[in-house]
Amino acid sequence: MALKSDFDTYRLTDEHAMIRDAVRSLAEDKIAPRAAEIDRTAQFPYDVLEALTRAGFHATHIPEEYGGVGADSLATAIVIEEVARVCASSSLIPAVNKLGTMPVILSGSEELKKQVLPEVASGEAMFSYALSEREAGSDAAAMRTRALFDGDHWVLNGTKCWISNAGVSSHYTVMAVTDPSKGSRGISAFVVHKDDPGFSVGHHERKLGIKGSPTCEIYLENCTIPVNRIVGEPGTGFKTALTTLDHTRLTIGAQALGIAQGAIDASIAYMKTRQQFGKPIGDFQGLQFMLADMVMQTEAARQLIYAAAAKAERAEPGLTWYSAAAKAFASDVAMRVTTDAVQIFGGAGYTEDFPVERMMRDAKITQIYEGTNQINRMVIARQLLK
């Protein structure tokens, strides 16, 4: 008797293959030649943003009814993967746009969606996500940022940190406490615009990697916004934040996957050309075993990420732990693979003459943001033990 599998499946369509080919071509032509300079100068790549926007790859997840292309979760993961394969900093353009707008897509009013999503779809605006604070990182529910209702507007006060693409984005989804007596159920979500009175951006953090994506604090000092810019009902913000992460953690997995694949591609090319003891180093079994492990681990991560993306698209139960698993596994793989790539390159891998040292530095953040991998393991276990 045939047994029905309990594993979720996905199928890559011809359209997914076309998207991959198109993104890879753009990435090789417009982004790869700039990757080292973006890292060296730590400047946001506006030229890359323009190229991605012209091709429609800057925010593929925006639904068609709001001017987007309406790509599914798997297609968006492929876009992020292929951009990250050559430049992790640039891959945060589509990734952060999705992170910032998902709360609006999931919980925002129709009025708010029509107000902000078309601007992102057209490339006129970018969106960031503001949840963390200095003393409320993994313990996000301990946030101190406050929002008070005052007649026909909300007034926000507080500081958010580790905000990706801060200063470049025009819109920010900000989580703030509206009822301190209710704990996490007293947190609400708001859309703040860079021109709102009382909003400002702090200095750029000096980081190990993803240097072309600015990371800054944002300050809300009696920041006044219209009443209709609350996302969902008061008190639903933390639930929206967690649901958002269910959809976006897997995209960080896709970013990690792309970084790992880029390191593998560079290693294969180097192993074929680098000569030692009179032959290519790819002829040595020890390095062959390293390469085989790198490829096996990366392909396993790819399967988990794509399955999680399919689950997200079908809105199936279990997405919370599936997405956390995809992110944690893929980011751990990316760190191992890029470290091994540096080892394969030897002394050359430790220099800026080759991309693998940058990939190793970029890979590290994927184990940290959108939930450290320790937090993600807790999420997985708690979901399974409920």
List the CATH number of the domain containing 118: 1.10.540.10
Task: Render pLDDT for 148-171 as a digit per residue (tens, 0 to 9).
Answer: 999 899 999 999 999 999 999 999
Residue type present at position 329: F
User: What average pLDDT does the segment 189-203 reach?
Assistant: 98
Same structural domain, 148 and 278: no
Residue 370 confidence (pLDDT) above 50: yes
Q: Is 186 part of any domain?
A: yes
Same structural domain, 171 and 279: no
Same structural domain, 258 and 364: yes
Same structural domain, 229 and 244: no
- Residue ending a domain, among 99, 122, 145, is 122
Pairing of strands 127-130, 171-177: parallel
Residue 69 confidence (pLDDT) above 70: yes
Q: Average pLDDT, whole number, for the chain? A: 96
Q: Is 6 part of any domain?
A: no
The answer for residues whose C-beta is within 8 angstroms of residue 79's C-beta and 6 or more apart is: 19, 23, 57, 60, 71, 94
Same structural domain, 62 and 170: no
Same structural domain, 367 and 282: yes
Same structural domain, 71 and 106: yes
Residue 272 confidence (pLDDT) above 70: yes
pLDDT of residue 11: 86
- Active-site annotation, residues: 370
**8 A C-beta contact, residue 66 and residue 112:** no
Residue 8 confidence (pLDDT) above 90: no
We report the CATH number of the domain holding residue 146 as 2.40.110.10
User: What average pLDDT does the segment 84-102 reach?
Assistant: 98
Please choose, from the candidates 166, 340, 195, the residue with its C-alpha nearest in 3D space to the C-alpha of residue 268. 340
**8 A C-beta contact, residue 353 and residue 249:** no
Tokens of 210: 């993803």
User: What average pLDDT does the segment 329-335 reach?
Assistant: 98
- DSSP collapsed to 3 states, 52-108: HHHHCCCCCCCCHHHCCCCCCHHHHHHHHHHHHCCCHHHHHHHHHHHHHHHHHHHHC
Q: Is 7 part of any domain?
A: no
Same structural domain, 157 and 117: no
Task: Render pLDDT for 37-58 as a digit per residue (tens, 0 to 9).
Answer: 999 999 999 999 999 999 999 9
**8 A C-beta contact, residue 309 and residue 74:** yes
Please choose, from the candidates 336, 329, 286, 283, the residue with its C-alpha nearest in 3D space to the C-alpha of residue 306. 329
Torsion angle (degrees, nearest 10) of CA 190, 196, 202, 203: 120
Measured N-to-C along each axis, helices 356-365 and 319-345 cross at an angle, to the nearest 10 degrees, of 150
**Alpha-carbon distance 363 to 208, whole Å?**
10
User: What average pLDDT does the segment 124-152 reach?
Assistant: 96
- Residue ending a domain, among 188, 217, 236, is 236
Same structural domain, 261 and 345: yes
Q: Is 9 part of any domain?
A: no
**Alpha-carbon distance 79 to 197, whole Å?**
35
Q: Is 117 part of any domain?
A: yes
Same structural domain, 377 and 251: yes
- Residue ending a domain, among 204, 236, 268, is 236
Task: Render pLDDT for 278-293 as a digit per residue (tens, 0 to 9).
Answer: 999 999 999 999 999 9
Residue 253 confidence (pLDDT) above 80: yes
Which domain covers residue 250, as residue numbers? 238-385
Residue 6 confidence (pLDDT) above 90: no
Tell me the C-alpha to C-alpha distance, in Å, between residue 16 and each of 27, 35, 122, 230, 306: 16, 25, 22, 35, 11
Residue 211 confidence (pLDDT) above 80: yes
Same structural domain, 40 and 75: yes
We report the CATH number of the domain holding residue 249 as 1.20.140.10
